[in-house]
Amino acid sequence: MFSIIKIGGSTLENLQPAFFKTLKNKIQNGEKVVIVHGGGPEINKKLKEAGLPIQIKDGIRITSKNALSCVKKALKDIANSNLVERLNQEGIKAVGLCGSEHMLIQCDYLNEEKYGYVGKVKNVNTAILEKLLESGKVPVIASLGITDKGEEVNINADTAAGETASALLATSVCFVTDTSGIQIEGQEMDHLSVTELKQSIHDGHIYGGMIPKVEAVIKCLELNIEEVLITDQSLSGTRCYKEVLAL
Ligand SMILES: Nc1ncnc2c1ncn2[C@@H]1O[C@H](COP(=O)(O)OP(=O)(O)OP(=O)(O)O)[C@@H](O)[C@H]1O
Ligand SMILES: [Mg+2]
């Protein structure tokens, strides 16, 4: 039973003991957990230090060659290292991985003209992940990828998490973010169907960084992944469904 947990950049710095306890319980109950993380705030900090602009379109970060080196430093050297260290401190055996290394996440360009060095995932090398999981480790993936020509690319971490879940045929995917779930017109949503999610993007109630998250959610649901959540650290936010709930 594979579970993917995507942890957003803004949440990484504020992870609570209760979250690690829940995670530990899942692992002790036999769930094979893979973590994929973002690093928005850390990337922005690195870009500012380098005097580079922060450009985001529909939740996707436009990534120049120079920006990519900031992205890599922030994601791999800082966010990934810190998270792995914290997990190990909390008694969870974690191993840090970078998606652009060992051909872990193979990509095409999403749209080179529009976004620059941003990847569209072609394949996830699940053998690496399965081997670590079998030895009781938790793989922790920094969301970068590699093209056929060997060029590194930035991948939206929600997209990377969704693609990893698809490749592993996971049973559960949790997108842990800085809101308690999806809100529509100020209202916390307990559950939403694919039709409602698409309509909410269309109506502008879901915007910015929530768009790639919901797009990843829809892809996971279309692949029949059972449990798909957008949530805060409590892991009890908005449950997303392929069909409208039967009454
Ligand atoms: N309907 C909505 N409900 C809740 N949040 C929404 C909604 N529409 C847009 N958002 C925005 O989406 C944000 C979460 O996405 P964001 O990309 O900022 O975080 P993340 O994906 O967790 O982190 P990272 O991108 O660093 O991995 C929220 O903070 C909120 O501003
Ligand atoms: Mg995001």
> pLDDT tens, 77-99?
999 999 999 999 999 999 999 99
Quick: pLDDT tens for 91-141.
999 999 999 999 999 999 999 999 999 999 999 999 999 999 999 999 999
Tokens 């914290």 -> residue: 86
Asked if the structure places residue 247 within a domain, the reply is no
The pLDDT value recorded for residue 244 is: 54
Closest CA to 38 of 126, 212, 155, 165: 155
> Can you list the alpha helix ranges (DSSP code H) found in 91-193?
112-115, 126-134, 157-168
Asked if the structure places residue 246 within a domain, the reply is no
Q: Distance between CA 132 and CA 129 in Å, rounded?
A: 5
Asked if the structure places residue 74 within a domain, the reply is yes
The pLDDT value recorded for residue 104 is: 98
Asked if the structure places residue 95 within a domain, the reply is yes
Residue from 164, 179, 202, 233 to probe ligand 1 pocket by mutation (most atoms less than 8 Å from CB): 179
In total, how many domains does the chain have? 1
Residue from 71, 78, 177, 235 to probe ligand 1 pocket by mutation (most atoms less than 8 Å from CB): 177
Of the two residues 246 and 24, the one the predictor is more confident about is 24
Give the whole-number percent of the chain exceeding pLDDT 70: 98
As given in the structure block, the two tokens for residue 9 are 């950049």
Domain assignment of residue 194, given as a range: 2-241
| DSSP percent split of the chain into helix, strand, coil, nearest 5 | 40, 30, 35
Q: How far is the CA of 211 from the centre of ligand 1 (A)?
A: 8
Q: Distance between CA 76 and CA 83 in Å, rounded?
A: 10
The pLDDT value recorded for residue 247 is: 60
Q: How far is the CA of 30 from the centre of ligand 1 (A)?
A: 30
Tell me the CATH number at 125. 3.40.1160.10
The pLDDT value recorded for residue 58 is: 84
Q: At 84, is the secondary structure helix, strand, or coil?
A: helix
Nearest CA, atom 20, ligand 1: 8
Question: Above 60 in pLDDT, residue 24?
Answer: yes
Closest CA to 120 of 131, 133, 111: 111
Q: Distance between CA 28 and CA 136 in Å, rounded?
A: 10
- One-letter amino acid of 154: N
The pLDDT value recorded for residue 243 is: 77
The atom number, within ligand 1, closest to the CA of 11 reads 22
As given in the structure block, the two tokens for residue 62 are 């436009």
